[in-house]
């Protein structure tokens, strides 16, 4: 009899993809049966495309759509993104208990925003594990957040000094994730609620590996503060990223162009599945690219002046003609040296292409891992959530990135700043050093996931527990 595990991710590809990759690994490499529960409420086009693709058709991995919840009376457009996600999850999870009772898995794997499932699982005596899909930097901060909440009055961003996180580097207040910058907003309460419940799970999976996060993993396991909380065992099992993508005819045009470019000469610009720039910022970025004279693939979506996460629930959808919101003549003037792609591109395939030399990224954790696995250095352009802390870690600790920031007094990052940083990474000695470091990390990631590797052995410790329960 095969061990049966259930998964419950939040909406958003940054949550779905890593949990799905773990589900695939358990099925293909460990002989498990998996039920993958999908929140269909307000699902994006990218989510529909992912679950309808050939990559999602795997024997012994059953995709189960939760009934869409009526959120018309509990969600409004004034709510911030995490509040919307958490409310949607809570409403959708109301149908979870009878589904789990019928499935009867030996464990449920959740993510950070589906901890409401812990209550139903407790009633059914189903152990719960959390797959923390973001960075270990965020996890150490998040586990410290309840203490900060008790001990600090006022806003964290107003603290005069960086925040001292036990066993870790101090964190500048400007880098803390957006969800805790306004303690009066409901988004803060939701985030605090979910991270406070991590101590109730049986274990926490990390989408990282020992070489990348050795000091923080050691801190989580040994530091007196975290032992006193106490936190459950942590298991670095990454990097778990997409292994393949379904390519379209439009994608074929991208790779035909890439095939004709010199090795490591192309800058790939993509700000995640949900990130958007303001109209003014998009124009400055485009001008900077043109001025740099560097080859590029630019994934561009219609700008919005409302929110940097404005495309979170609409990712993967069709967009307007980019020439209508890029600078006049940009597409024509850069034709040949650059390629403009509307809305979406097969990021994984582009990053592993021989002609890709750097990645201008929002530093979401999935994108960061995909870049490092394929040895590609990063121009860090964080937009929202925890991306600023990820960017700082990549620049100051891992040394595979350079951060692009607005000059003092500037409202947006100017074109000359973009030009300078792009040239520095694509042509300069600093870029060569980052590229070498990224390739070394890529090799260590492959080793961690190989036979006897640290991440495989870490996952096997939990697999052995599950198999003993059958």
Q: Kindly state the DSSP code that residue 380 receives in the 8-state scheme.
A: E
Q: How many CB atoms lie within 10 A of CB 297?
A: 22
- CA 383 to CA 80: how far, in whole Å? 14
**Which member of 4, 33, 111, 362 is catalytic?**
111
Is residue 215 among the annotated active site residues?
no
Q: Kindly state the DSSP code that residue 139 receives in the 8-state scheme.
A: H
Is residue 111 among the annotated active site residues?
yes
Instruction: For residue 344, give the H/E element and its range.
Output: none
CA 376, distance to chain mean position in Å, is: 17
What tokens were used for 350? 């582009």
Q: Which of 421, 419, 391, 390 is nearest to 404 (CA)?
A: 421
Q: Which of 272, 277, 284, 382 is nearest to 17 (CA)?
A: 272
- CA 81 to CA 324: how far, in whole Å? 28
Which three-class secondary structure string do you get for 245-292? CCCCHHHHHHHHHHHCCCCCCEEEEECCCCCCCCHHHHHHHHHHHHHH
- CA 443 to CA 429: how far, in whole Å? 22
Instruction: For residue 109, give the H/E element and its range.
Output: strand 107-110
**Which member of 15, 33, 353, 362 is catalytic?**
15
- CA 300 to CA 323: how far, in whole Å? 10
> What sign does the CA torsion over 256, 257, 263, 268 have?
negative
Residue identified by tokens 């198999």 is: 467
List C-alpha distances in Å: 369 to 20, 106, 336, 466: 15, 30, 29, 27
Q: What is the set of active-site residues? A: 15, 111
């Amino acid at each position: 009899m095969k061990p049966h595990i259930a998964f419950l991710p939040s909406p958003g590809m940054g949550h779905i993809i890593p949990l799905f990759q773990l589900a695939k690994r358990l099925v293909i490499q460990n002989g498990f049966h998996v039920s993958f529960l999908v929140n269909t409420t307000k699902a994006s086009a990218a989510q529909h495309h992912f679950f309808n693709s050939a990559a999602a058709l795997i024997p012994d991995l059953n995709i189960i759509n939760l009934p869409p919840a009526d959120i018309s009376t509990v969600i409004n457009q004034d709510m911030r993104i995490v509040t919307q996600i958490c409310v949607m999850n809570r409403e959708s999870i109301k149908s979870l208990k009878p589904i789990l009772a019928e499935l009867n898995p030996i464990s449920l794997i959740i993510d950070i925003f589906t901890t409401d499932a812990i209550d139903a699982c407790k009633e059914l005596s189903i152990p719960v594990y959390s797959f923390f899909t973001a960075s270990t930097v965020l996890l150490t901060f998040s586990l410290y957040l309840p203490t900060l909440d008790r001990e600090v009055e006022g806003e964290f961003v107003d603290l005069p000094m960086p925040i001292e996180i036990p066993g870790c580097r101090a964190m500048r207040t400007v880098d803390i994730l957006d969800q805790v910058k306004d303690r009066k907003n409901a988004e803060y309460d939701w985030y605090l609620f979910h991270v406070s419940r991590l101590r109730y799970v049986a274990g926490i999976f990390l989408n990282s590996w020992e070489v990348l996060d050795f000091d923080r993993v050691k801190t989580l396991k040994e530091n007196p503060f975290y032992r006193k909380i106490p936190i459950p065992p942590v298991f670095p099992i990454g990097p778990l990223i997409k292994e393949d993508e379904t390519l379209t005819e439009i994608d074929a045009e991208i790779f035909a162009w890439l095939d004709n470019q010199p090795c490591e000469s192309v800058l790939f610009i993509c700000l995640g599945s949900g990130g958007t720039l303001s109209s003014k910022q998009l124009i400055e970025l485009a001008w900077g690219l043109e001025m740099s004279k560097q080859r590029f693939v630019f994934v561009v979506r219609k700008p919005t002046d409302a929110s940097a996460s404005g495309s979170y629930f609409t990712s993967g959808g069709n967009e307007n003609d980019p020439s209508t919101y890029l600078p006049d003549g940009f597409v024509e003037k850069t034709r040949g040296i650059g390629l403009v792609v509307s809305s979406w591109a097969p990021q994984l395939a582009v990053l592993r292409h021989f002609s890709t030399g750097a990645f201008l990224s929002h530093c979401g954790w999935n994108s960061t891992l995909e870049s490092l696995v394929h040895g590609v250095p990063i121009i860090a352009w964080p937009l929202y959530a925890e991306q600023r802390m990820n960017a700082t870690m990549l620049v100051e600790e891992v040394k595979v990135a350079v951060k692009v920031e607005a000059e003092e007094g500037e409202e947006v990052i100017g074109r000359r700043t973009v030009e300078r940083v792009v040239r520095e990474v694509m042509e300069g000695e600093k870029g060569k050093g980052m590229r070498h470091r990224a390739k070394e990390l890529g090799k260590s990631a492959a080793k961690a996931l190989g036979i006897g590797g640290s991440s495989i052995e870490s996952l096997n410790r939990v697999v052995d527990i599950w198999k003993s329960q059958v």
